[in-house]
Structures are given as C-alpha cells and as structure tokens.
Amino acid sequence: MQYAMVKENKIDNIIECDNYTIAQMMKNELNMDYAIGIELFSVSIGDIYDNGKFYDGKGNEIQRQLTDPERITMLEVENIELKQSKVNLEQTVLTLMTQVAQLKVGGAS
C-alpha cells in the first residue's frame, strides 16, 4: 500500500509499505508529521493535506475514489435507473403512436 509522507501539511514523499505500523515507524524515522494511506486518493508530491482532506496545487479537494464494491453498487443502481427510463420512454412512444393513429382515424372521417 502507498503512504503519503506529510510534513507541514504538504506531501513530501510517497512510499510503498507493507503495513500501517511500518509506515508509522518510517514517518517517525523521517521526521514527518503524518503517514497517510492513499490507496483511494490520486495524490502527488506537493499536494496539501489539511483537516483530513487532500488538496491539489490549485486548492481543489482531491476526492476519494470508489472501491470496487462501491463502484459495482453504483453501476448496478445506475443500470436499474436506465432500465426504468427505457420502460418509461417505450410507454411514451406507445402512447404517442396511439394518439397519432387516433388522429389519423379521426381526420379521415
């Protein structure tokens, strides 16, 4: 897992480490303020860490990425919503076709 080594609210380094305890030991050895797991964040050296959030060089918050199970759940919900929209559109088209057919029958008399 990758850890951001933070000194004075700025990512000074990014390390690869097997576990949290070793990352914390390295933080202490390197005289850093924090060692924060960044598996779900697309951060870079120089980004800011403040009050539990990451920010890029322009001050934009770096959002946490979804885990695979979260992404799957989100896509499943989106799929259900799209299927319902398709059904609604099909019903609307059928209603419009019926109205057009009725207009043609009514207009022919």
Q: Which residues contact 31 (CB under 8 A, 6 or more apart)?
A: 7
**HSE-CB of 103 using CA atoms within 13 angstroms:** 6
Across all residues in the chain, what is the average pLDDT? 93
pTM (2 d.p.): 0.66
Residue 84 has φ and ψ, to the nearest 5°, of -65, -40
| Segment 50-64, tens digit of pLDDT | 999 999 989 999 999
| Segment 17-67, tens digit of pLDDT | 999 999 999 999 999 999 999 999 999 999 999 999 999 989 999 999 999
